[in-house]
């Protein structure tokens, strides 16, 4: 089986591993399952997740981690979004160029697939980027916002890694990529052309396709009804809601039938039983 496993709230909570998950996932790999880890986070390169997951004892290799940043890179190479004809518009020549309104991990993922990256500054604008790619941007400034909006007005595609308004940090909620997407949408007068992360299905599609599998045959394991389960349902994939993260039993009980997962697990032990029962 192909398991698309969400990270925060399923595999770990902040710096703390969820008890039993390393053992369970190791057993699933030994039994022949394929695991791809997925996250809406676009801040870090997958190498950084690899070190973190390996340090927690999870079965993992860098090619089995698909962040929203990695998925964005894969989608941009796949769907022809960057395969614009060399019409002379780009003064630097043929290589597709992305303006990165986000962090260095996102820029590195885009360069890994052969894209040229530029920053949201005057020099970047002169490069006439084909796309503006937006993730959580810890260097956010008025000038970066203004420049990225101008690039979109001049014809660059508007690509959002995700629309999460906030995300949990140790000291409260921090502004997510969706906050930057919203600012840019207002400033440019346009909504994103593409949104990659959950609850849109493209992250899961890219994760499944990265191992040559049909995304509709995947089992999504996530802790959020609003993102993980919503994306799985849009895709037509089965899902397991883990009650180890953001969604509570009460929220699950209140959810309409169309928003519910295929199965529910309180912890790693119950997840093991649920997955055994779902085996084709
Ligand atoms: Mg999660």
Q: How far is the CA of 149 from the centre of ligand 1 (A)?
A: 30
Q: How far is the CA of 244 from the centre of ligand 1 (A)?
A: 9
DSSP secondary structure letters along the chain? -EEEEESBTTTEETTEEPTTHHHHHHHHHHTT-EEEEEES--SS-HHHHHHHHHHTT----GGGEEEHHHHHHHHHHHSSTT-----S-STT-SS-EEEEES-HHHHHHHHHTT-EEE-SSHHHHHT--SEEEE---TT--HHHHHHHHHHHHTT-EEEES---SEEEETTEEEE-HHHHHHHHHHHHT---SEE-STTSSHHHHHHHHTTT--GGG-EEEES-IIIIIHHHHHHT-EEEEETTSS--HHHHHHS-GGG--SEEESSHHHHHHHHHHH--
Q: How far is the CA of 83 from the centre of ligand 1 (A)?
A: 33
pLDDT digits (tens, 9 = 90+) for 157-195: 999 999 999 988 888 899 999 999 999 999 999 999 999
Q: How far is the CA of 100 from the centre of ligand 1 (A)?
A: 25
Domains defined for the chain, CATH in brackets: 2-40+198-278 (3.40.50.1000), 85-195 (3.40.50.1000)
Q: What is the pTM of this model?
A: 0.93
pLDDT digits (tens, 9 = 90+) for 55-114: 999 999 999 999 999 999 999 997 566 655 445 555 555 789 999 999 999 999 999 999
Residues designated as active site: 6, 8
Q: How far is the CA of 176 from the centre of ligand 1 (A)?
A: 14
């Amino acid at each position: 089986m192909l398991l698309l496993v969400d990270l925060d709230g399923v595999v770990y909570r902040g710096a703390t591993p969820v008890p039993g998950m390393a053992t369970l996932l190791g057993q699933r790999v030994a039994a022949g399952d394929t695991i791809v880890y997925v996250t809406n986070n676009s801040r870090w390169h997958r190498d950084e997740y690899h070190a973190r997951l390996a340090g927690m004892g999870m079965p993992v290799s860098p090619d089995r981690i698909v962040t929203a940043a990695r998925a964005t890179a894969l989608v941009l190479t796949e769907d022809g979004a960057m395969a614009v004809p060399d019409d002379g518009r780009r003064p630097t020549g043929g290589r597709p160029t992305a303006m990165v309104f986000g962090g260095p991990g996102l820029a590195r993922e885009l360069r890994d697939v052969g894209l040229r990256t530029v920053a949201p500054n005057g020099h970047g604008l002169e490069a006439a980027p084909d796309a503006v790619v937006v993730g959580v941007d810890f260097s956010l400034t008025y000038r970066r916002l203004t420049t990225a909006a101008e690039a979109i007005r001049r014809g660059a595609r508007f690509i959002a890694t995700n629309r999460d308004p906030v995300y949990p940090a140790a000291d409260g909620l921090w502004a997510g990529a969706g906050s930057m997407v919203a600012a840019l949408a207002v400033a440019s007068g346009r909504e994103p052309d593409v949104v990659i992360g959950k609850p849109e299905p493209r992250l899961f599609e890219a994760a499944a396709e990265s191992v040559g599998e049909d995304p509709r045959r995947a089992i999504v394991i996530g802790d959020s009804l609003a993102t993980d389960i919503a994306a799985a349902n849009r895709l037509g994939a089965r899902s397991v809601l883990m009650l180890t993260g953001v969604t509570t039993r009460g929220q699950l009980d209140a959810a309409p039938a169309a928003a519910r997962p295929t199965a529910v697990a309180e912890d790693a032990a119950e997840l093991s039983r649920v997955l055994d029962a779902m085996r084709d």
